[in-house]
A and B are shown apart, each in its own frame.
Chain A
């Protein structure tokens, strides 16, 4: 839409269109020559779990003590004073999923946060958002556990299957007891409880996986145990199997151009998102980086134009979905965020220009209708406790 208005009221989008009647007492912001998009959603972040500065004392993202740690929850590691949060917000990010790291086959529960200042992680949690389960393929687990195992990809697969066999038995015991309440309840096991919730469809699987062939192995395992993979993350070879991802209704969270840092990232191509989308799979950008999170619009621009250079005509409207509604779907929050529609949460970004230009910056960011970032007003800037007296003001 051009020359249009968005009305935010009581935390929701109240109206959008070329003729919007604003109430007399509304705060009016002239966006002439500027762009408005939904708030950006980053489905892959470790902010808070791997905060800045990166010191051992705060390195809380990988419980690398066992290849299966379904019992840990990322939210128990999040440090709300991580200075990386306000920086992501200044890049237009309004919602992010914080995941455990990828050292483990099964790394634990993720948490979905709103990028808002709070003394506690509880104050940042997205109300009602489903939890995710982090799983990881390939090189990382077999490197971390090479002396005790798994040390091979087949060892990895045996590890997932062993965990799901236990989980299935646990789910059955509990489901039976819940139905009958006969005798003592089975003993609780935190890890199996999380896995059982995956089997019941209440927790979404987010699976770190680079290689095409390995993703298909993971799809086989999901079928064997009757769970659904919500999205593959990194998905460096998503372009090779986008048809299979589409057929299995699995999202693909990808970088624009990261690659080459390890063998399984060696087939990275810049047209990955474009090909994945063009072949019908649900493509989305993700950062896995506190720097990348600040420029997801730029990452999408790279990927969109790389697609066009390869002859795949990705429109701006398509590419915007990689930043917004598609990641919202991956978090099962697409009924509440990810698009500017009446009734949805008023998570909105005002950009200085076209968000696919290198010169454009987010000017203002609203979350639930509250202006959380305003580049023109440094006095209102969110500064974490850590930054006070450590980082100079104005920075």
Chain B
């Protein structure tokens, strides 16, 4: 027993300094994102937060220094549309916790993070490639549920959960999944639901006495949608065609909702209206296939054209390579391809850092390198969007995490010269 206590004491002593450590990353090319790039400067991390960023930053005595000459430092990347920790293996049913059953295709009360597996084997490989924060997003139905922001750190749900909910998720591109048979019916169902929420909000007392008209959703779902109709919680609407996006804009206008469009395959054709309505878009830059009649005009320039029109754009994966979980790490290549298809480099960097932080109400803590922000920081060997670049250091809340993924372990076991 004494030995165990001793061991625990040692562990605590060893673990404690890493939290209060002061780290100076020096001589680096820095993308603060909130301001212009710094050709050669220092990022100072103290007590889990960014203490200073600039060309001339005094380095306190005792600070651990990382000489990042020739390297690049950015905020940890943010992937806004993932299922990390809620889908481990797509076709293994028991590891899928991203789609709720709901009632009548409405699952507004579904809080996706309550089923989060923070021990998922996908945290390490995603983090090791420079992603530090992800939005985990429910799917399916008409109203899919509530999304949350998590850091790809270690520990229990409470340790990694940054905030939940950060958005309510809905979709307009699949009438069958919504329990309807036609797009117009889907939109009618959505309007009726929002009307019910507003009615419920002003008749809560009557509801408890069972003296309300009949309502199309359960009370927990109606409760969960109150922040949406009050414009406090963003509603992310999956919509692809011009017509679907147009319907979403009309809905937002009529109900005074704060919305974002995800997917937005044909967004570039309605970019001016999205910009005028100040509606942000979550889309990718690697899909140009007219994969359905909703996405006939999908193109790789979409994100760049939306940006050019003034639409806030967060880049997300929109291909077929499991970009929501196994390959959520590839968000940096989405950004690189966006640049290849017309987006400015700085816009692409912003689209995987500060813009998503702003869209999900997290920009006071993550998405940029500024004094006072949480120290979610990545040191790259070169241009973060290039295949040749390796991640050298990842900090989450000021703590460097170096943990091999099981993919690394398998590689070590089987690579040439290894003992199998």
Contact = CB atoms under 8 A, between A and B. Distances in A.
| A-side interface mostly | loop
Number of chain A interface residues as a range: 35 or more
A357 B386 contact: yes
A271 interface: yes
Nearest to B412: A310
Contacts of B14: none
Interface string B278-295: 000000001111111101
Interface in A374-395: 386-387, 390-392, 395
Which label, helix, strand, loop or mixed, suits the secondary structure of the B interface?
Answer: loop
Interface stretch (B87-95, B97-105, B149-157, B190-198): B87-95
Nearest to A278: B416
Nearest to B288: A87
Contacts of A356: 387-388
Contacts of B297: 391-392, 395
A343 to B, nearest CB: 33
A263 interface: yes
B90 A261 contact: yes
Nearest to B294: A53
A52 B415 CA distance: 39
Nearest to B92: A263
A262 B91 contact: yes
B258 interface: no
Contact of B333 (A239, A290, A358): A358
Contacts of A262: 89-92
Contacts of B200: none
B336 interface: yes
Interface string A271-303: 100010011000000000111101100100110
B89 A263 contact: yes
A53 B293 CA distance: 7
A294 B299 CA distance: 13
A267 interface: yes
Interface of B: 88-92, 122, 269, 286-293, 295-297, 299, 319-322, 325-327, 330, 333, 336-337, 339-340, 385-388, 390, 407, 410-412, 414-416, 420
28 contacts: A52-B289, A52-B291, A53-B292, A53-B293, A53-B296, A139-B91, A239-B414, A257-B326, A259-B322, A260-B326, A261-B90, A261-B322, A268-B326, A271-B415, A278-B416, A291-B319, A295-B337, A298-B387, A311-B415, A312-B415, A358-B337, A358-B385, A359-B336, A360-B340, A361-B340, A387-B290, A391-B297, A392-B269
Contacts of B291: 52-54
Given A87-B288, A263-B91, A392-B297, A275 B387 contact: no
A275 B289 contact: no
A309 B322 contact: no
B321 A292 contact: yes
Given A52-B289, A263-B91, 19 more contacts: A53-B293, A83-B290, A139-B91, A239-B415, A257-B321, A258-B326, A260-B322, A260-B326, A261-B91, A268-B326, A269-B410, A270-B407, A275-B411, A289-B319, A292-B320, A298-B333, A311-B415, A386-B290, A391-B290
Given A260-B122, A305-B388, A312-B416, A289 B321 contact: yes
A272 B339 CA distance: 28
A258 B411 contact: no
A270 B321 CA distance: 13
Contacts of B293: 53, 55
A291 B385 contact: no
Interface string A296-324: 00100110110001111000000000000
B319 A358 contact: no
A301 B321 contact: no
Contacts of B387: 298, 301-302, 304-305, 356-358
Contacts of B414: 239-240, 275
Given A279-B416, A358-B386, A358-B387, A260 B289 contact: no
B416 A275 contact: yes
A260 B90 contact: yes
